[in-house]
Amino acid sequence: MSNARTARFSRRGILAAGGALGLGAVLAACGDGDAKNGGSDSSAAAEASGPWSFKDDRGTTVKLDKVPANIVAFTGAAAALHDYGVQVKGVFGPTKTKDGKADVQAGDMDISKVTVLGNAWDQFNVEKYATLAPELLVSTTFDEAGTLWYVPEASKDKIAKLAPSVAVSVYDRQLTASLERMWELAESLGGDMKAAKVTDAKKRFEEASERLRKAAKANPDIKVMAGSASPELFYVSGTNLSVDLEYYKALGVNFVEPTEKAKEPTGGWFESLSWENVDKHRADLIIMDDRTSATQPADITEATWKKLPAVKAGQVIGRSAEPILSYDKCVPQIEALAEAIEKAKKVS
């Protein structure tokens, strides 16, 4: 197997995990500190003309003379900030599909109005980044070290010299914790957190969460499996590290848990199965990774997949394995899962 082929396979494995498989081997750690602590040291738009500072989930505090205006962000983070009224100048990460439409991770952003510095793993145009005169880079982090998601290892030092960075952790915590941190960041950057659409979204999130809690309690025997597909393998995600699955589990959802570690290092994110063994776990409902990096259910041709009881029963729905961290974007995911559990038949 060539090195190029190995690199592509490793990347697919990482993306399929719904997190950061083997990041220690793929990306160098940058930053340190307690990722579970931190908070905003600034108020919102009312003080936008004054000094700005923010303590991120690496424990790193960024201090600037004013609220940064030239912001560049990982696509999913940019989409979350957009929902709170904070616009970015540039993005990196899955932004455009092959037909030029907005990627699922771009949310409601008008992608024609942002500069795309890279649209795939290991793509980041440093020269173009410099022309944006960046004042702040925002990304998520999937590991304890605070590695910036989608910032390439080869160019991370050059990127770091051009502007300070802020990381919002989506590692080993529940979804609500990451949502709160993105809210705090958006507020510090001048987001209108009192806007009706923002407060309404938060209320709808709470209502959707309560619906899911009730659905799980009323249907405790419905077994849910979080999956992701590639041409070579099927991945079963564990619930202990992914923010959405940790949250759903806390609400009472009964998940399939991987029983063996994958052959390649996964850091506890998932188990990889050959398509011949895709029936290893019994599930009544399957929630499938909706990212463009993953093979979608309609495109899976393996006979073993089609024979799964949940598939035959039509009990397969999508899942945002990298949730956009705004309440508005998380509501549909929770509502869809609640409805699926409410309607699911016991087939396993």
Positive or negative: CA dihedral 100, 103, 109, 115: negative
| Per-residue model confidence (pLDDT) at position 21 | 38
d(CA 161, CA 132): 14
d(CA 58, CA 150): 16
Q: How many residues does the chain have?
A: 348
φ/ψ of residue 94, rounded to 5: -55, 110
Cβ–Cβ < 8 Å for 103, 94: yes
Average pLDDT per consecutive 10 residues, the chain (348 residues; last block may be shorter)? 30 40 33 39 48 98 98 98 98 96 98 98 98 98 96 98 98 97 98 98 98 98 98 95 97 90 58 96 97 97 98 98 98 98 98
Q: How far is CA 256 from the centre of its chain?
A: 20
> What's the token pair of residue 312?
């035959």
58 residue type, one letter: R
Cβ–Cβ < 8 Å for 233, 302: no
Pairing of strands 223-229, 233-237: antiparallel
Query: H-helix or E-strand containing 53?
Result: strand 52-55
Q: What angle do CA 98, 103, 104 make, to 5 degrees?
A: 140
250-270 core/surface letters (b: 16 or more CB in 10 A; e: else): ebbbbbbebeeebeebbbebb
19 residue type, one letter: G
| Per-residue model confidence (pLDDT) at position 259 | 72
pTM: 0.86
